[in-house]
Structures are given as structure tokens and as C-alpha cells.
Chain A
Amino acid sequence: MPTAPSPDAARPLTAAPRVATVDGNEACADVAYRLNEVCAIYPITPSSTMAELADQWSGEGRANIWGDTPIVVEMQSEAGAAGTVHGALQGGALTTTFTASQGLLLMIPNMYKIAGELTPAVFHVAARSLASHALSIFGDHQDVMAVRATGFALLSSASVQEAHDFAAIAQMATLETRIPFLHFFDGFRTSHEINRIATLTDEDLRALVDTQLLLAHRARALNPDHPFIRGTAQNPDVYFQGREASAPFYRRVPEVVASAMDRFAARTGRRYGLCDYTGAPDAERVLVLMGSGAGAAAEAVDHLVARGEKVGLLQIRLYRPFPAPEVLAALPATTRAIAVLDRTKEPGAPGDPLFLDVVATLAEAAATGARSGAMPRVIGGRYGLSSKEFTPAMAAAAFTELASAAPRKQFTVGIVDDVSHSSLEYDADWSTEDAGVFRAVFYGLGADGTVGANKNTIKILGDDPGVHVQAYFVYDSKKSGSQTVSHLRFGPAPIRSTYLVRQAQFVGCHQFQFIDRIDVLAVAAPGGTLLLNSPYGPAEVWNRLPRSVQDTIIAKRLAMWVIDADRVARDAGLGNRTNSVLQTCFFAVSGVLPRARALDAIKGAIRKTYHRKGDEVVRQNIEAVDRTIEALHQVAVPATATGTRRLLPMVPAEAPAFVQALVAPMLAGRGDTLPVSAMPVDGTFPSATSRWEKRGISSIVAKWEADTCIQCGHCAFVCPHGVIRAKAYSAGALDGAPDGFLSAPLEARGFPDTRFTLQVYEEDCTGCALCVEVCPAKDPSVSGRKAINLDDKGDDPVPARARAAFFESLPLPERSHVDFATVRGTQLLEPLFEFSGACAGCGETPYLKLISQLFGDRMVVANATGCSSIYGGNLPTTPWAVNAEGRGPAWSNSLFEDNAEFGLGMRLAADHQLAAARRLVRALASTLGGGLADAILAAPQRTEAEIREQRGRVRLLLDRLAGVDTDEARALVSVAGQLVRRSVWIVGGDGWAYDIGSAGLDHVLASGRDVNVLVLDTEVYSNTGGQASKATPLAAVAKFASAGKTTEKKDLALQAMAYGNVYVARVAMGANAQQTLDALREAEAYEGPSIVLAYSHCIAHGINMQHGLDQQARAVHSGHWPLVRYNPALSGAGENPFTLDSLRPSLPLKSYMEQELRYRVLMLTDPPRAERLLADAQAAIARRWQLYEDMASLGGSRG
């Protein structure tokens, strides 16, 4: 039961407010959770954290303000979540959801329903870009603008504090108005910024939210005790009137929100308005915007006003219903010119939405006389799409534009638009940073703990009541060897600088190799400090710096400190965990706290963090702190630079022009400087750019032992990164081989003068060791050595590059001569998926590489959003490649939910064009001559040799049509490529196949069309951080299954088999590489729908990825992942189509599970439950195995 009516909401707090150092997501979720009863969600960046926290709190039994624990449920898609929200609301529960971007789009139909039924609810949105010419996970207002017509009220918060506060204000207002609210804040900039906020207690929330309104909401619910009907169908006679009936409710909203804000201010002291004006009271030029950009714009206004300029900022907080009277009232009467900034784009509209709203408001006021004086000049500007930086300098540029004689009607700011010439110039060096704020920037690797350490630092400093903190983290797009940049600010007042640090008093470079590649000192403020983690000591390091770095250090008068953090960590027994060491260095030299106090604070934090892990761990970390101080040295900076080293070029000189012009600046972190003209107009990019990015991310790389190798091909087969290649060639081709180029006689009869080379592309190798693990050939003279081993890469990349280049110059084997049927044979096929940024040791990419080898020169790929679309299609470089003939996989990503349908569309286009081509070949048979038409039409294309022959015929056809000037000939030329059998692949993860895309996949499999579906099954949502899917196994722990999943993994193979005409296989290359190869070839050859479920070990399993293949084998041998094939073609031959390819389970399930953190977590935290679920899982395996055996024995087919 709800508690008694609220105490006096106006009672101010007497005690100092409680504070917390949190990010925007947590700030919002903390309130949203406590004000709701049901939460239905689906993970999507950047909102996922809110839902995960809600799930965690629910699991912990945390109560809402009415004393009950909210129910949190993960759905199969945002559409499903919205439906569930709608249902729970109709059931009378206060219900919320957290989403963003495409997720919000999927909710639109229900949003209309929820609003149309006047249902109080708040959706919390971390606003994000929409996928158009490209996907982007980053922040802007495109998603929320896409739902502005749904009938939801839209409330915009602009900071971490506001995300917390507006979650409450939105709830207060929705309950009172019955209008559903969408509360949004900027994805990443606010959702992921960490800041110190004052928090709302349960008492605050109880005081603010009127429980009587909750009761009223319940009273409106569907209830058989007093039934009614809602959701009718209406007709032309009354629908229109019904749509208008709710209008009075919308008219009340601004007043109710304003009143809620007043009550909120009375309670907390934090005052907000529907729109808030700041700046000169007599401003002539005013910016209007909403969201986090207001922080940067306000800084600009403060600075400009201080120097006498008459400018101001109007920040919109309630966007729908649009508070026109309040906007008019807030604008100074002196306003002559207004620039409205939209963080969205509406192509083809007369202006972007906020601009149009402001124009309409002013025009109406002018027309009706509600506003006296001349109508201000209003221009519209676009900024900040996809988290593009928006700085005070950019806001200042908008004011400058307003001051010009003829301001542009529409402009952009933050980019260089040299196509439409819309962009404003701005002074990038103009800074409004407060002198009292300490700013630090840290460059690190994802794996080195830099971000974690900085989060720790922020917490340490944020504990000081006199210190305000802000942290924001920038990541690159790779999943392995990813670079992180941390931007930290500390100061005595709240920090609202909603942009990256541009002038840092402290720069920490935590990876020495960055100094050669990235301009880490560009952000260093004059007189600042550089901390460099370096293997070279204070005497030696200076001469190891590139000349430009030396110049900058001298010119900016930087103090330079150096430490070998890796050695200190190692010596202290911390392995490669350098985070404590480098954090200590920051405190020791930055001066943000007195050194002794800082060290005490760090040690205190260590005790707090590690005390549960034992005295020894605490001791080691504290020892590391003490050793750090001893190992930290200031470098004597000479007066003049003497170095000769230069920054390394981002791409080799021989890279194509496109790569030089577009990719290289992106790689160097200068993508922001690329002008509009540099960009493809429709999102189309050349393939095969990853080969130009030599990342060199691993100091240990695979090295081949030619004498030990048996040339079996398994290492190349499993290499997730395509860095191990094999060629067989005549001995004479070795002339001119560079030093160290390895070669061995080909291990095959009948090729006496043929040599074999297994080449490792060392600069692309991630050191994942899967090749070493799978290698069966052992060096008889040295225990533990194999035919391929990991060894130091060495400092100089040039020799390895020369060897790889020579290898590339060797001739490729003719594809029709390669044995596609054996693992050994496939190593000679060129991978057309290479050097992706997937995690080191990724379990998915070997399958993709394999299909690219087998079918790449004639395949199109529809790729569902997820890991595979990120490592497969995220700029700057992409891995889908091109062969020497210029052919390769043509790849595209549509959405997450529609991928099967997207691929089917590709098939239909191909089928249609093939039919047209065949018709035209017949029609032009006499022109083509020589029986070519008949040969083309009758050609079998089952084997690679047959396909190569057909390619030859099509080439001949094109030659013969070259001079034919007829419509039919031209039409045939346009579709002739389809005469070579096109291979359509539909690729995605389990989140797509089992959940969000399930219905579409089912329909496509039922279509009977010749598509090949490859499900890279990691059994969890990997890309968004480990949320449970319906592929998640029983007993595994995942987000939204934190106590271990209690239901069995869906048997998608069995579902697909039920159709009877679908080729189905379940494979795991770590268990049986040959079966994997057979299945993929059979699937492709089958002229109907095929689906291959591929076990993909994953970082989200909590395994040492080096042992991923072993885990695959355990998964199979324990019966968790039985290998099967179901080939309908065999039915036609009267055979049992079902083959059970793995042997009866020989390992207890536990021996597979206990190797993975996702299961071990439960074994450690709740052993009895783990035992119970394990027993359930073991029983399920037995049941399924029995079923499979029964199926296999129908006509008998055991592999």
C-alpha cells in the first residue's frame, strides 16, 4: 500500500544535501527506479546502463519510495518493451523504460497509444543519433525529434544534476497531467559524464510526488471489478473529435511543469524554469537551444557579457508542449536577432524543428501583437550531431554571425562545410575555461585500466566536500587495442563545461608508443605537466622523443616526469595492472592535493577497494604506491630540441588517395577537421581499408617455425584477424626474398619444386595465441614450442613489413586448383575479411573470414547491427576486403531488427536480375554466338572450378557485348554479373537471431529462398556489454540474469529444422574444424534457406580468450553444443537429413562451465543455486541428446 499523502513539499532541507559522484545514466536511473513499479527495457547504447542499474537494484531488493521492489524485465526488442510498458500502464502500474535512438523509433507506435489514452508514464532517453547514411552510437537529438509528434511531453535535462532532478519533475508532472513524458538528456555527453551532484532522498521524492495521483492512476486501470473498454476502433464520424478531446490536458502541461519546478525548488533549492534565460538583461542577440550544449553556450555568454556584449542564452527545458508564452516572456524586449541551434537535422524542411517552433512563436506574437516591437531576425543553426564537440567558441561564432550585416538564414557550426558553405568559422583557441579549474587529460589503452583509475581518482577527489569534479571519456572504435582519452576537471564550483578539455595543466601519456603516433601534447596548456610512462629512464627518454614532441615541450615550458609503470607494477606483483601506479603519479606531480594527503587518500581507496580481497592484495597495491614515488623522476628538459625522430605516418605512402585523404586524418585523431566535401554523399566507402592501418598493438606476435610445421592449415583457419596466410609457389619465386623470409618445401606428393610459406602479418597480429593453441605440431627439441609460437615482435617494423610485402608479391594459387573441402586447402584461399578491430582472439571473426575465403568473390552480406557490424563496418578502417581481381564481399548493415529481411531483399533483387539476365541471354543468343548463350544458361555452378568457368563465359559475354549498341545489350551488361551464382549471406549475433530479429528470421527461413544465415552465437549481447538473450544458457550469469538464467537456451536449430526445407547446422570450429567447413559449404550449396549456428567464444564469457577454442571443444564434448547438420537435400535422396556430428557427451557439463566466469560467478556467490541450475542444465542436456539421438537414428545417420 502506498504511504500517507506527502509531507510538506515546500519544506526546505535543513541539512547539507547528500552528494554523489555519478554519471548521467545513474543520476537519472536512481530517481526513475524509485518512482516506478515496473520497468520493461531492451539494451541500447548509450542508455543501457540505466536499465542495468535498475535490474541490479531490483535484484538486490531495493525498494521504491512506496516500499516495494520494482519488477524489471528485459524484452526481445524496444518494440516489445514498449508494448509491455503499455500493458503494465493499462494494468495500473507506474511503468518506465530507458532507451535511445533506434530503440525509441521502435517504440513510436506504442507512444501514440500511451499518449492517446492519457496515460502517465516517463520514458528516460539518452538521446542519440539515428542510423541514416551511417549508424552512430553518439549523442544528438535526432531520436527525440522523431517522436515529437507522438503526444508525449518532451523535457530536456542538460547536465548530470538535471538528469537526476528532471527524472523527478517529469514524474510529478506526468501524474498530474496524465500526459506521458519523455525525459531526455544528451547521450554520452550527459549520460556518460561523471559529475558530482546533490541527490534526492526518498523523503524528498515522497514529498514531491503526490501518492494520491498514483492511486488515481491505478483507479483508471483495466479491472474486471469495474470493467470498461479502451482501444476501440473509430470511424470518420468520431475519430477526429476524439483526437481533439484531450487538448485541454495538453494545455495544462506547461503550467503543471512550472508548478512542479517551483515545488522542487522549494524543496531542494535548485530552481528550473520551462525555459531559462541567462545573459545581459538588455541583450540584443540571443541563442536558443536545449540540452547539454547550454553549458558551453552559457560559458560563452558569461564571457561575452563580461566584456560588454549584449548577448544572452535561452535554454529550452520543456520542448513539448512548446511553451510559447514563456519563451516570449523570457526573451529580453531588446532582442533583435536570435540564432536557434538544433542538434538534429530534418532534410528538406524549411528549418530544423526548434528553429521552426521559435519562428512560429515569434511570428504569431508579432502578428497578434503579443510581443511589441519589430520581429527579431531569427536564423537556424545546426550543431553537435553524433556528439560532435560544441564549445563556447562555437556559440560565440553564432553570436558573431548574428552581428553580421546579413546573417545566414541557416548555418552549421563545428564542421567545415565546403559544399553548401553553411558552416561558421570559429576561433578554436578561444577559451572560457575557468582559471580555478584544474584540467587533466590522460591517454591510455582500453586494457591498461586508465579509465578505471581515473574513475577512481574522481571518486577520491569528489569525496572532498570542497571539490567539484567532472570526468568524460573518449574511446576509439576498436575492440582490441583501443585507445582511451580521459578528460578530467576539478574545481571549487560546479563544473558545467560540457566539452572536452582543450587546455590541460596535466597530460598523462600512459602508453609510450602513443608518443610516436599521436599528438598527445596538443591539449597541453603552457606551463603544464607531462607524465610519460616510459621504459626509458629520465636520462635516456628525451632522446627517444620525436622532434616535434621535444619542440612542444620546450615551447610550452612543460614540466616532464617519467616512470616505468610497467616495471613498478610487475615488481610489486601486480602484473600488467599499471592503474594504481599511474594514478599515484598523477597525484604526486599534479598538485591537485598536497602530496602527503593525496598518497593517504590513494592508500585509503586501495584499502577500501581491495580489503575484501585479502591483506596481501592490499599490501601489494600499497607497496606499488610507495615504489611509484621512488621510481618517479623529473626529466631535465634541455633548452633546445635535438631529436631527429619524426612522428610515424598513419598509413604507408603507397596507400590509395582515398585512404591518404580521409582515413589517415581519422586515424590520427583529426577526423574533426575533414570538410564535408571529403565525405561520400551516401555513406558508401571503398572496401579493404583495414590493411592500411598498421596498428602494431601487440608486443608479442605469432612466429612460424618452418621446420616444425606440418602445413595442416589450422592456425590460418582459426586466426581471428586474418594475419596468418599461406601460399604455395614454385621455388624460383623466392628470388629476391628479403632477409628472414621463411619458406619450406610443400608437404605434398607430386610437387617437388614447390615451396610453402606461412606468413604472419606481424603489425596486424594481436598476440591472441589461438594459433599456438590449435597448432598440433610440436618442436621435438624444445618442450612447449610448436610450429607457431608467440615471440617478441621487436622494435623495428620495417623487416616484418618487407617480408609481408614480398609474400604479397608471390602468386596466389588458382582458386579452381585449391581443395575447398579440407581445412588444409582453405589456408591457400585469400581471406577477404582481414585485420578487423574485433577483440584479440575473437570467436566470431574466424567464421566470417572463412566464408570470405570460400565465397567472398561472389557474396553479398547483410549484417545485423552488433559486434559484427562494428568491427565489420566502423570507421576509420573496415575489414571486408577485395581480391586481386577487384572482387570481394559487398557488405551492408541496415538495422538490428530487420537483418533477415534485409538479406532476403538482396536475394530477391538477385533472383529478379538473374531471371532478367537469362531472358536477355536467350534473346541475344545469336549476338553472343558460338553456343555461348547455351553454355551460360546450362552451366552447373556447384564447384569452384565450375564457377570459374562460368566467370570466364560471362567475361566473354561482356567482351562480345562491348560493341553492341542496343538497349537489350546494355540491359544485359547491367545484370550479367548475376549469371555467376550469387551467394547471399545474412550475418548477425544471437541478440538479433534469437531475440529482436527472431520473427523476421523465421519468416525468411520460411520463404524457401536461397539465403545463407550465419548466426555468430556468443550466447549474450556482446556489443552492448553482456545482457542476456534467449541464447544465454541455463545457469549462466548475465546482465538481466544476474542470479543465473533459469530457462534453457532456445534450440533455434530445432526450430529451423521443423520447416523441413531449411538446411541447418550447428558448428564449433574449436571442436571440429572440418565439420564447420563442411557445414558452411553445404549451407551455401543448398539452393534454399540455410542457417548455420556458430559457437563463438567471447570476452563476455569471462574466459582467457587464448583458451577460447578449448572451451568450444568442451562445449561440444559436454553436450552443451552438439554438432549437427540437417540437410534437406538428403531427404530427396531418401536418406535421413539429420546428422549428429558429435559424440555422446563425454565431459560433465560442470567441467565446461567452471572454466568460464559467467558460470563461476554463480558457483562462487550462490553455490546451492549454482548446483541446482547446473543439475537442471545437465538434465536438459540429457533430454536433448536423447531427442537428437532419436532423430539421428531415424534411418540412421551418426557422423
Chain B
Amino acid sequence: MADLGTTYLGLDLAHPVVASASPLAATIDGLRRLEDAGAAAIVLPSLFEEQIRLENAALEALTALGADSVGEVQSYFPVSSDFVVGPDAYLDFVREAKTAVGVPVIASLNAVTPTGWTGYAEALADAGADAIELNVFYIPADLAVTGRDVEQRYEDIVREVCGAVSVPVAIKLSPFFSATGEMAARLVAAGAEGLVLFNRFYQPDMDLERLEVAPTLELSTPAEIRLPLLWIAVLHGRISASLAATTGVQTPTEVVKYVLAGADVVMTTSALLQHGPAHLRTLVDGLASWLDRRGYASVAQVKGAMSQQHVADPSAFERANYMKVLQSWKTGG
């Protein structure tokens, strides 16, 4: 059987299939099930600084509601309910996770303030996270914000976090940069040791019955792998950082494609939510059997085999490819 081993963020992994952030990874029991099912590493659900702040603000407002307003009531809650919502529970979870499972545990962080990014990153590292994935979720809805502003923001975050912690740091990228390649290079130069392609922003839908904006989350499908596939293929071998593919991994086929494009690891959530942790084994076995059928000895041997650097016609990943797709769609239609 082929050697499935790979390296991601300097971590040696048994194979490239990683369980990414999902409700399955939100409990110790879930983590154990993922490990038992064969996950090479696990990304924990994000620590959201804004959620902590908003929740603190809301709880503070609720605690203060009605206090010192009438003669009979100085407060409505026992003094002992003067509490703070902080990252403690999450950090405890990271600590527990590290003792509960043997595979690397990657903490994910979504912060909104400079001190939030660095402070929480340090806390996560101190809690034992093997690596940190920065989940930058930023929609520049302010029309005055320029593309340069956005790029700088990403770069600053990466630089500051990497300066603050000694564990490896990966960043989950937005697919919407004008020049994803240059951006990737800048982020690596700023200290990122890994790039995760791509962040699937939660895009709101509309509820036509209630005429309301409705947050929806749809699980990804294999059709969605094209964009990350393209950029992994473009970036492989041209930047000195690990590449993680995420989005659309349903079957071994997508795993193989991503590896061929140059991904060091392939992350999956949707398939695990749909089929359960045991599906990890299907993905890993499928990769192994594809390699075996083709007579490859290892993942390393095929990793990036179809990256832009290695395909016969590198321009296939550029505009020509776009043309080709369009034409084939027409002819196929």
C-alpha cells in the first residue's frame, strides 16, 4: 500500500485527510470519534472574539436592566452572577482536546480587534494547540474600504499573530482577492506557514415567506472544488507554505484531485456531517486505493503532479482554461 504520509504546517500526518471545523469537533466525544475514524488532524470550531464581546455586552446589559431604578430593587440577580463570558471554556476545551486525542489539534480563531487576534492566539497556543488557523471573516460592506485596505488588514493580522506565537499559523483565505497569488505570497512573507483555500463565507439568503434575510448554511458539493483546485494548482511549489484544500470534498475523487493539484492536506466537513465520522475512512481508503491502482508509492509522489508548474500546458489554469470551459459547456450543452 502506498505511503499516505504528508506534512502540514510542519506537522507530520499519517495521511492528508483532515477533519475541519464542524459541530463534530465541538465535543470531546466528537473529537474521539473523529480520531477513531481516522482523521489525520482535527481543526476545532472557531473561537469568535466578536461573539464573546457581543455576548458580554448583551449579558452586561441584561444584568444591569432595572438595577438601581426603583427603591425596592438594587438588582434582579444575585451578586454571584457577576460573571464574564470569556475564552475560558474554549481554552479548557483545547486543553481537554489535547489530552483526549493523539492527532494534532489545530485551533481556529476569528477575532475582530488587533489585541483580540494576538491575545487569543497566544492563549490558544498556551492551551496546547498544535497550530492556529486564522479564520478571517471580513466582508468590506463599507464602500469606502479599498482592496488595498483589505489586503493590508489580512497581512497585518498574519504578521502580528505570527510575531506573537511560536506554533505554526495558517490563514484561511478569502477567494475574492484581485490577485490571489500575490496575496498568498504576501501572507507567507508576513509569516504564514500555511494557506487554507478557501473560506466559504456564510452568504445570507432570503426567506420569501417572511420577507426576511435568512442566514443559511448549505453543505458544499463537489462542484465547488474548482476554485480552490485552481489556486492550489497555481500556488503549489511557488510559495514556501503548506496548502490546505477545503470545500467540496465528498468522495475520494476530490481528495485525489486536490492532492494532485498540490494540497498538503484536504479538509472535509460537509461529508462528515452527512455521512458521519466513519466517512473519513472511505476517503482515506479511496485515496490509498487510487494510488495503489495507479502504482504510486506515496502521496508525496503525486502531490502537485497536476499543479500549474507540472502540467503540460500551464496556461490551462489561466484564462485559456476559462475559455475552454465555456466552450466545452456550449458544445456539451
- Residues of B75-132 at the interface with A, using a CB-CB cut-off of 8 Å, are 75-81, 83-86, 89, 113, 115-116, 119
Contact assessment for B62 and A446 in the assembled complex, using a CB-CB cutoff below 8 Å: no
Query: Does A1104 have its Cβ within 8 Å of any Cβ on chain B?
Result: yes
Instruction: Give the residue of A192, A477, A612, A1161 whose beta carbon is less than 8 angstroms from that of B77.
Output: A1161
Instruction: Give the residue of B69, B116, B119, B212 whose beta carbon is less than 8 angstroms from that of A783.
Output: B212
- Residues of A774-828 at the interface with B, using a CB-CB cut-off of 8 Å, are 778, 780, 783-784
CA distance A1100 to B83 in the complex (A): 17
CA distance A1160 to B60 in the complex (A): 12
List B contacts of A1195 (CB < 8 A). none
CA distance A1192 to B71 in the complex (A): 46
CA distance A1161 to B77 in the complex (A): 9
| Among A188, A447, A477, A613, residue most surrounded by chain B Cβ atoms (within 10 Å) | A613
CA distance A479 to B52 in the complex (A): 31
Contact assessment for A783 and B213 in the assembled complex, using a CB-CB cutoff below 8 Å: yes
CA distance A783 to B211 in the complex (A): 6
List A contacts of B210 (CB < 8 A). 778
Contact assessment for B68 and A1164 in the assembled complex, using a CB-CB cutoff below 8 Å: no
Distance of A279 from chain B, by nearest CB (Å):
34
Given known pairs A614-B53, A784-B212, the reply for A484 and B74 (CB within 8 Å) is: no
Query: Does A854 have its Cβ within 8 Å of any Cβ on chain B?
Result: no
Query: Does B323 have its Cβ within 8 Å of any Cβ on chain A?
Result: no
Contact assessment for B73 and A1025 in the assembled complex, using a CB-CB cutoff below 8 Å: yes
List A contacts of B211 (CB < 8 A). 778, 780, 783
List A contacts of B213 (CB < 8 A). 783
CA distance A455 to B116 in the complex (A): 31
List A contacts of B76 (CB < 8 A). 1022, 1025-1026, 1099-1100, 1102
Number of interface residues of A (CB under 8 A): 63
Query: Does B46 have its Cβ within 8 Å of any Cβ on chain A?
Result: no
- Residues of A435-469 at the interface with B, using a CB-CB cut-off of 8 Å, are 445-447, 449, 451-452, 455
Distance of B208 from chain A, by nearest CB (Å):
11
Q: Which residue of B lies closest to A1160 (CB)?
A: B59
Contact assessment for B65 and A1102 in the assembled complex, using a CB-CB cutoff below 8 Å: yes
Instruction: Give the residue of A475, A1024, A1102 whose beta carbon is less than 8 angstroms from that of B63.
Output: A1102
Contact assessment for A475 and B212 in the assembled complex, using a CB-CB cutoff below 8 Å: no
Could you mark each residue 47-71 of chain A with 1 if its beta carbon is under 8 Å from any beta carbon of chain B, else 0? 0110011011001100000000000
Contact assessment for B66 and A616 in the assembled complex, using a CB-CB cutoff below 8 Å: no
Could you mark each residue 48-62 of chain B with 1 if its beta carbon is under 8 Å from any beta carbon of chain A, else 0? 000011001111111
- Residues of A1085-1139 at the interface with B, using a CB-CB cut-off of 8 Å, are 1099-1100, 1102-1105
Given known pairs A613-B56, A783-B212, A783-B213, the reply for A1024 and B80 (CB within 8 Å) is: no
List B contacts of A1103 (CB < 8 A). 62
Contact assessment for A1104 and B62 in the assembled complex, using a CB-CB cutoff below 8 Å: yes
Distance of A876 from chain B, by nearest CB (Å):
15
CA distance A478 to B115 in the complex (A): 43
Query: Does B320 have its Cβ within 8 Å of any Cβ on chain A?
Result: no
Contact assessment for A55 and B56 in the assembled complex, using a CB-CB cutoff below 8 Å: no
Distance of B80 from chain A, by nearest CB (Å):
5
Distance of A439 from chain B, by nearest CB (Å):
21
- Residues of A170-193 at the interface with B, using a CB-CB cut-off of 8 Å, are 188, 192
Query: Does B70 have its Cβ within 8 Å of any Cβ on chain A?
Result: yes
List A contacts of B85 (CB < 8 A). 1164
Given known pairs A45-B72, A473-B68, A783-B213, the reply for A617 and B83 (CB within 8 Å) is: no
Query: Does A934 have its Cβ within 8 Å of any Cβ on chain B?
Result: no
List B contacts of A56 (CB < 8 A). 78-80
Given known pairs A616-B113, A1024-B72, the reply for A1099 and B83 (CB within 8 Å) is: no
Contact assessment for A616 and B64 in the assembled complex, using a CB-CB cutoff below 8 Å: no
Contact assessment for B69 and A1025 in the assembled complex, using a CB-CB cutoff below 8 Å: no
Instruction: Describe A's contact surface by its main secondary structure.
Output: mixed
- Residues of A715-743 at the interface with B, using a CB-CB cut-off of 8 Å, are none
CA distance A613 to B87 in the complex (A): 11
Instruction: Give the residue of B61, B73, B77 whose beta carbon is less than 8 angstroms from that of A1037.
Output: B77
Contact assessment for B72 and A137 in the assembled complex, using a CB-CB cutoff below 8 Å: yes
Query: Does B67 have its Cβ within 8 Å of any Cβ on chain A?
Result: yes
List B contacts of A449 (CB < 8 A). 64, 68
Distance of B212 from chain A, by nearest CB (Å):
7
CA distance A784 to B77 in the complex (A): 34
List B contacts of A1104 (CB < 8 A). 58, 62
Query: Does A482 have its Cβ within 8 Å of any Cβ on chain B?
Result: yes
CA distance A1160 to B78 in the complex (A): 13
Distance of B65 from chain A, by nearest CB (Å):
6
Q: Which residue of B lies closest to A611 (CB)?
A: B84
| Among B69, B71, B79, residue most surrounded by chain A Cβ atoms (within 10 Å) | B69
CA distance A192 to B77 in the complex (A): 18
Number of A-B contacts (CB under 8 A): 132
List A contacts of B79 (CB < 8 A). 52-53, 56
Query: Does A615 have its Cβ within 8 Å of any Cβ on chain B?
Result: yes
CA distance A617 to B85 in the complex (A): 13
Distance of B54 from chain A, by nearest CB (Å):
12
CA distance A1164 to B90 in the complex (A): 12
Contact assessment for B71 and A1158 in the assembled complex, using a CB-CB cutoff below 8 Å: no
Contact assessment for A1039 and B78 in the assembled complex, using a CB-CB cutoff below 8 Å: yes
Q: Which residue of B lies closest to A49 (CB)?
A: B74
Could you mark each residue 31-60 of chain B with 1 if its beta carbon is under 8 Å from any beta carbon of chain A, else 0? 000000000000000000000110011111
Contact assessment for B72 and A1025 in the assembled complex, using a CB-CB cutoff below 8 Å: yes
Given known pairs A55-B78, A1158-B77, A1165-B83, the reply for A446 and B71 (CB within 8 Å) is: no
CA distance A137 to B77 in the complex (A): 21
List B contacts of A1099 (CB < 8 A). 65-66, 76
CA distance A46 to B73 in the complex (A): 9
Distance of A893 from chain B, by nearest CB (Å):
15
Contact assessment for A616 and B115 in the assembled complex, using a CB-CB cutoff below 8 Å: yes
CA distance A932 to B74 in the complex (A): 59
Contact assessment for A616 and B73 in the assembled complex, using a CB-CB cutoff below 8 Å: no
Distance of A1086 from chain B, by nearest CB (Å):
35
Could you mark each residue 1142-1162 of chain A with 1 if its beta carbon is under 8 Å from any beta carbon of chain B, else 0? 000000000000000110110
Q: Which residue of B lies closest to A1162 (CB)?
A: B81
List A contacts of B89 (CB < 8 A). 1167
Q: Which residue of A lies closest to B58 (CB)?
A: A1104
Distance of A788 from chain B, by nearest CB (Å):
16
Contact assessment for B115 and A615 in the assembled complex, using a CB-CB cutoff below 8 Å: yes
List A contacts of B115 (CB < 8 A). 615-616
Query: Does A41 have its Cβ within 8 Å of any Cβ on chain B?
Result: no
CA distance A192 to B66 in the complex (A): 17
Query: Does A107 have its Cβ within 8 Å of any Cβ on chain B?
Result: no
Contact assessment for B62 and A1157 in the assembled complex, using a CB-CB cutoff below 8 Å: yes
Distance of B110 from chain A, by nearest CB (Å):
15
CA distance A138 to B113 in the complex (A): 49
Distance of A298 from chain B, by nearest CB (Å):
26
Contact assessment for B77 and A479 in the assembled complex, using a CB-CB cutoff below 8 Å: no
List B contacts of A53 (CB < 8 A). 79
CA distance A59 to B78 in the complex (A): 10
List A contacts of B71 (CB < 8 A). 45-46, 137-138, 188, 192, 475
Contact assessment for B70 and A482 in the assembled complex, using a CB-CB cutoff below 8 Å: yes
| Among B63, B84, B86, B210, residue most surrounded by chain A Cβ atoms (within 10 Å) | B84
Q: Which residue of A lies closest to B59 (CB)?
A: A1157
CA distance A616 to B63 in the complex (A): 20
List A contacts of B72 (CB < 8 A). 45-46, 48, 137, 870, 1023-1025
A-B contact pairs, 20 of them (CB 8 A): A45-B71, A137-B72, A138-B71, A446-B66, A446-B69, A446-B70, A447-B69, A451-B69, A473-B68, A614-B56, A616-B53, A616-B115, A783-B211, A783-B213, A839-B66, A1022-B76, A1025-B72, A1037-B77, A1037-B81, A1157-B59
A-B pairs, 4 with minimum CB distance: A446-B69, A1042-B78, A451-B68, A1025-B73
What residues of chain B have their CB less than 8 Å away from a CB belonging to chain A? 52-53, 56-81, 83-86, 89, 113, 115-116, 119, 210-213
**17 additional A-B residue pairs with CB within 8 Å, beyond A45-B72, A446-B69:** A46-B71, A137-B71, A138-B71, A445-B69, A484-B68, A612-B86, A614-B86, A615-B119, A617-B56, A1023-B72, A1025-B72, A1025-B73, A1026-B73, A1038-B78, A1100-B76, A1104-B58, A1104-B62
